[in-house]
Amino acid sequence: QKEVEQNSGPLSVPEGAIASLNCTYSDRGSQSFFWYRQYSGKSPELIMFIYSNGDKEDGRFTAQLNKASQYVSLLIRDSQPSDSATYLCAVLVSGTYKYIFGTGTRLKVLA
């Protein structure tokens, strides 16, 4: 069974700080990785996707991928209270159509 692991949190950071969210995955052949934000009672919303090793930046968000360590992370710079949500990591299992999700990390940004 392929797995995606995330620390459930809550991760609390002060407003304006950098929030670092981490995810590990078990399928060494996976090539596609995604981060979603989910507010309470709402559906997941795509933030970023990354396919290559290294960093990918989009505004205040940076996704980092290290395939050798089977590790993907999301950095949120200048965190705002509106960033308070659960962040889901998803991995596309190699050779399949299956996207496996972690159970999410709850982020709280304190004003």
Partner 1 sequence: DVKVTQSSRYLVKRTGEKVFLECVQDMDHENMFWYRQDPGLGLRLIYFSYDVKMKEKGDIPEGYSVSREKKERFSLILESASTNQTSMYLCASSWKDNSPLHFGNGTRLTVT
The footprint of partner 1 (CB under 8 A) covers 31-32, 34, 36, 42-46, 49, 51, 88, 90, 92, 97-104
Nearest residue (CB) to partner 1, 43 versus 111: 43
CB atoms within 10 A of CB 33: 25
Task: Report, in Å, the least distance between residue 28 CB and partner 1.
Answer: 16
The whole-angstrom separation of Cα 102 and Cα 82 is 22
Question: Is-contact 75 55, C-beta < 8 A?
Answer: no
Nearest residue (CB) to partner 1, 32 versus 66: 32
The whole-angstrom separation of Cα 85 and Cα 106 is 6
Nearest residue (CB) to partner 1, 7 versus 31: 31
